[in-house]
Structure 1
Amino acid sequence: MIVSQNINEIATLIQQGGVIAYPTEAVFGLGCDPRNLPAVQRLLDIKHRPAEKGLILIASDFEQLRPFLAQDLQASPEQIQPNNITWVFPADTTVSPLLRGSHTTLAVRVTKHPLVRELCDALNSPIVSTSANITGADPCHSTQSVLDQFKHHQLAPDAILDGPTGGQLNPTEIRDAISGKILRHS
């Protein structure tokens, strides 16, 4: 696994189909290009995550997320601002079940994390986000914990974007974008 603080190096790896680990608001995440379905499948394989559950997309700007969401949606100012809330919107009909799972919706967030914002800006794209851990294991809170968790596994991320998490103690709150109902508390 490559460990790097170089945003451009990590962005290039993602553009080439790589899967990375990176710091988010609370824990390290696993990510890749959401348009590269073989990379998404590899991410699911690394994590041992059933595709039916779906994934989150995070971006530096809500406009990066729009191609993945229903074309007629009207997002509120709160939903398009960087925050620690993940919103579940109706997905565009073209979004792969590898991303949305068995749902007709897709979870998205405009992240506040500065490194992830910089990475999404470099890509001009959202990235997939799911906790960096093998399903059932504790989420990783540091570069070292990612290295430790994946060192003996045949499947592992290609690289780690080295940096601190945002210091949030719990995963982001998840809300339904239409009703505002809280689906997961932070």
Structure 2
Amino acid sequence: MKDFSAEINKCIEVMAKGGLILYPTDTVWGIGCDATNEAAVKKVYELKQREDSKALICLVANDAMLERHVAQVPELAYDILDLATKPTTIIYDNPIGLAKNAIAHDNTMAIRVASDKFCSYLINKYKKPIISTSANLAGKPTPTHFGKIEDPILKGVDYIVNLHHDKQNGPPSSIIKLGNDGTVKIIRE
């Protein structure tokens, strides 16, 4: 547990200074940063060599944090999250208090309530949402485990979490778009 706490504290220290972390999530190894820090989000796009018109996923620790960062969480979202059998990311209208360059051009944000113990503790202790994007360069496949992450990513982050390096990735999250008008669109099952 000591290592677990030390890793969380190191990640918080790095993110608080606008740095990037490489960390295990409930799905894949992710590149993360403070989701409220525009300069840090810009570094993520630069590292991935990705256009900033491609939206990112944001992780929150719980429903309360979700409600602080979305103008109106549709009731259906809670049902979907309660019934989901795997990590589920929901795209919400009108995000609040997140870096402008992390928000999609249509004023939506893909947000997942983290189910992984490490992520939940990290985000809870940091008290802010964090970005989560797969640890690969744009156009390259998502690495299936830590050993497949390419050098530019490993060298481009400010800190690599020293846990779960032997763990295979879980399946990618489902992605569902929920409009405040009641529309539901499945983006990825």
Both proteins in one fold, TM over 0.5 = yes
Q: Deviations over 1:155-176 (max 9, x none)?
A: x0111123335742x3101001
Q: CA deviation at 1:53?
A: 1.2
Q: Is the 8 A contact 2:37 2:99 kept in 1?
A: no
Q: Deviations over 1:74-93 (max 9, x none)?
A: 34423565961100110236
Task: Report the secondary structure of 2:124's partner residue.
Answer: helix
Q: State yes or no: 1:122 paired with 2:119.
A: no
Counterpart in the other structure of 2:186: 182
1:59-98 pair list within 5 angstroms: 59-70=60-71, 72-75=72-75, 76-78=77-79, 84-92=87-95, 95-98=98-101
What 5-or-longer segments of structure 1 have no aligned partner?
none
Which stretch shifts more, 60-69 or 102-111? 60-69
Which stretch shifts more, 61-70 or 84-93? 61-70
Q: Is the 8 A contact 1:175 1:184 kept in 2?
A: yes
Q: TM-score, normalised by structure 2?
A: 0.81
Q: Is the 8 A contact 2:176 2:186 kept in 1?
A: yes
Q: Distance in 2 between matches of 1:78 and 1:43?
A: 32
Return the letter of the residue paired with 2:61: S
Counterpart in the other structure of 1:161: 161
Q: Is the 8 A contact 2:91 2:108 kept in 1?
A: yes
Q: State yes or no: 1:28 paired with 2:29.
A: yes
Q: Distance in 1 between matches of 2:68 and 2:9?
A: 24
Q: State the superposition RMSD in angstroms.
A: 2.5
Q: Distance in 1 between matches of 2:80 and 2:16?
A: 27
Task: Report the secondary structure of 2:184's partner residue.
Answer: coil
Number of residue pairs the alignment of both structures matches: 177
Q: Is the 8 A contact 2:136 2:142 kept in 1?
A: yes
Identity in percent: 25
Counterpart in the other structure of 1:148: 151
The change in CA–CA distance for 1:59 and 1:102 in structure 2 (over 3 A counts) is: same
Return the letter of the residue paired with 1:73: V
Q: TM-score, normalised by structure 1?
A: 0.82
Q: Is the 8 A contact 1:10 1:159 kept in 2?
A: yes
